[in-house]
Amino acid sequence: MKKSTKRFVILLAIGALAIGAAKIFQAEMHALIDQLYVKLQPYLYEVPKEASTRSRPINKTREDMSTANAYGIPADYGYSDAAFQRYRSWIDQAIQGSGDKPAIIIDKLARTLELWIDGKKEASFPVDLGRDPIRDKILEGDGATPEGFYRVTWVRDHGQTRYYRAYLLDYPNQTDLNELRDLQARNLVKSTARPGGHIEIHGEGGMGIDWTLGCIALSNEDMDKLFSYDLKEGTPVTIVRYGTKEGY
């Protein structure tokens, strides 16, 4: 082997090792930041006693939660008739599709994850969301939980995720990437901005606070119940800001 070829192979191997190390470091930092935020959360916001009683952001005052619609949707959730109908159409589409395979519907305002099978709601679980539970996720590090149509790409059991058990979602999908590019084209975000990723439905939740970097967190007990339905890769997951309830 020529010296130049050998040098190239060595550099290639070093590069591969560096990329692998960077990914491991990123995952470690992801977990560390989440854990740190959970520890600091009680000092930042008023924490409700039970997650099941919370249907609105915990860091909002009563004045912030004023509504101007028949559904009781807080004003800061950006309510409009058009948006409500759009989310409702997403929900209806997910329910209709549940006849072919189970479907998950997540309502960010209600803080619920619903499992639908054959057009019937089989289960509902309380969830914790990203640190910014209202906005649609656009950028890496914005702490928001995405909205839209997604699919499970990896069912992660014990030892395959840092958060007990998990379903990895295909965020960002093409729609998310197109939205980011549109914002970049209009100079609303930096051209170097990235959409982030690694959004999961995972365990270690049930805290009654919004603490993740954008993931959807259930209690470990509820994750076990969800796993009992033996959901597969490809399971559709629809995430809406609101719309599963007639009143909030």
Catalytic residues: 202, 215
Burial class (CB in 10 A: 0-12, 13-18, 19+), 66: exposed
Q: DSSP secondary structure string, 29-47?
A: HHHHHHHHHHHHHHHHSPP
Residue located via tokens 């839209």: 148
* Contact status, residue 126 vs residue 206, Cβ threshold 8 Å: yes
What single-letter amino acid sits at 196? G
Phi, psi of 182 (to 5 degrees): -65, -40
Compute the chain's Rg from CA coordinates.
20
Among residues 115, 123, 222, 211, the alpha carbon closest in space to that of 166 is found at 222
d(CA 201, CA 56): 20
Q: What is the DSSP string of 168-215?
A: EE--S-HHHHHHHHHHHHTTSS-TT-------EEESS--SSS--BSS-
